Amino acid sequence: MSACFLASVVALLGLLARPSECARAFFVFGDSLVDNGNNNYLMTTARADSPPYGIDFPTHRPTGRFSNGKNIPDIISEHLGAEPTLPYLSPELRGQKLLVGANFASAGVGILNDTGIQFVDILRMSRQLRYFGEYQRRLRALVGAARARQLVRRSLTLITLGGNDFVNNYYLVPFSLRSRQFALPDYVRYLVSEYKKILIRLYAMGCRRVLVTGTGPLGCAPAILAQRSRNGECAAELMRAASLFNPLLARALEGLNRRLGAGTFIAANAFRVHFDFVSDPGAYGFATAKVACCGQGPHNGLGLCTAASSLCADRGRYVFWDPYHPTERASRIIVSQFMRGSLDYVSPMNLSTALEMDARLGA
């Protein structure tokens, strides 16, 4: 039994106090739910580099994460027994830090290149993938081609996309270009077909274990409640969009797995996980899922979270940190279901099962 297998098991049990030298590399792609600071280096309004963002982060300073503290990739890294990945644009990402992996995510992006155009300079998916290729060239220069290829093949990849393609594209304004071009079911089919191209590209670039999250209950975010709900109920049209998108994405992942290898793509049912505590926050120790901790206006859902915003005192009692993003505590519940949840939450296996299996096989 290898030392790395034992380290992996200990990490999965949550007993590893410090990063393990055996921890696999971790790569992150997607939007603001998983961005940990790339947009700090870009000329964009989609940023989280000012207080009170980061108020509960270990440094108590904003980092570019759209959270009061740690976000979903940080918490997955804890389960891997690894230090958090650095933003790819960070000047600190060099030398041995490259072996940890990298975060390429950028707030505001979507599956489509025209999503988030109002944010101007963001890392659209074509650019995130291009930077991943650049990262691999840097890695080869550091450790050689064979080891670099092995590091990528045995890595874990997380990708989170789709929400912005609805909120910041199709439903951004009445009679948006995409809503005039497509009826909603046709738009969803188009999104999933484009998403498949991105996932196939990741596979071609060496990724063999990819956690793919669907969208959460889009109509329940405080921003949407403030704009579209008259009675505090989740906005029906955004909920319909999520209910069409998520099952179609899950079926697409099943098809890719039949083609490329069972378990290559793990489907995380972010809608189900998130809706559990949106529909019954008290069961999870939350006081509310309808009001953001930080914001202003109805549901604290209007505008940005800034130093001038209304700020809750106990972040652990809120599902939403700002008008769109979960608190660290909510993110920990989400990740716990990704790690150990049933097939209702993650399929064809949960992440703990996949990682333990990989460790046994020496993947």
* 322 is annotated as an active-site residue: yes
- Torsional sign, CA 76, 78, 81, 84: positive
Instruction: Choose, from 8, 20, 32, 155, the residue flagged as catalytic.
Output: 32
Task: Report all structural domains of the chain as residue ranges with CATH numbers, in order of start.
Answer: 26-361 (3.40.50.1110)
Q: Which residues pair with 29 in a beta bridge?
A: 159
pLDDT digits over 174-228, tens only?
A: 999 999 999 999 999 999 999 999 999 999 999 999 999 999 999 999 999 999 9
Determine the pLDDT at residue 23: 73
Among 20, 299, 325, 358, the active-site one is 325
Distances (CA, A) of 81 to 6, 38, 126, 271, 333: 12, 23, 30, 27, 18
Low-confidence ranges of the chain (pLDDT < 50): 1-3, 5-21
Of 31, 35, 322, 358, the catalytic one is 322
pTM score: 0.93
Q: Is 325 a catalytic residue?
A: yes
Catalytic residue check, 314: no
- Strand blocks (E) in the chain: 26-30, 101-103, 156-160, 210-213, 265-268, 294-295, 310-311, 346-347
* Contacts for 223 with CB less than 8 Å, ≥ 6 apart: 167, 292, 299, 301, 302, 323, 324
